[in-house]
Chain A
Amino acid sequence: MRTPLDLAEAHPDPAFTVTLDGREIEALPGQTVAAALWSAGVTSWRTTRGEGRPRGVFCGIGVCYDCLVTVNDRPNQRACLVPLHPGDAIRTQEGTGHDD
């Protein structure tokens, strides 16, 4: 199967481990939270404030604020923009992300 890595002829450094709600997933250096979650087969990581509907990446370029996620205890970060580092703890987010 051709992957984006083949298409871009990318040779990233070795993968590292981050966690999603405590579960370990792999991420490549330079990958955003959204890219790593997609690679792990996760497409939704937030529920909306009003009706609890599932949300993940919509625009993918930092404009729409739909992909908000909690990273290292900081809520409401755009998954499509935040690059991952080894050991980062991603948490799915409900409501405002402030435990209301």
Chain B
Amino acid sequence: MFLINCPFCGERDQSEFSSGGEAHIVRPKQPTELSDDQWAEFLFMRKNIKGVQFERWNHSHGCRKWFNVVRDTSNDKIHSVYKMGEKPPVK
């Protein structure tokens, strides 16, 4: 339970948002050329980090926009928030 500072609406309760999981997993440019191992990596394998993690969130009960969050999963503390397409901050 924590607050998320939506870059469009400001600080709101986490329950207004939906988690989109790990950020910066790029969809393969040439899906037809992917091996089964590469598909598994893209679809299923996750870092699942205990510590600072880059992740996507959607303000699903607000502006419904996607953005990125840098959060420490060991204590739910949010380090920074940045918009889609922006460069991730250096840890």
Say whether A associates with B: no
Which A residues form the contact surface with B (CB < 8 A)? none
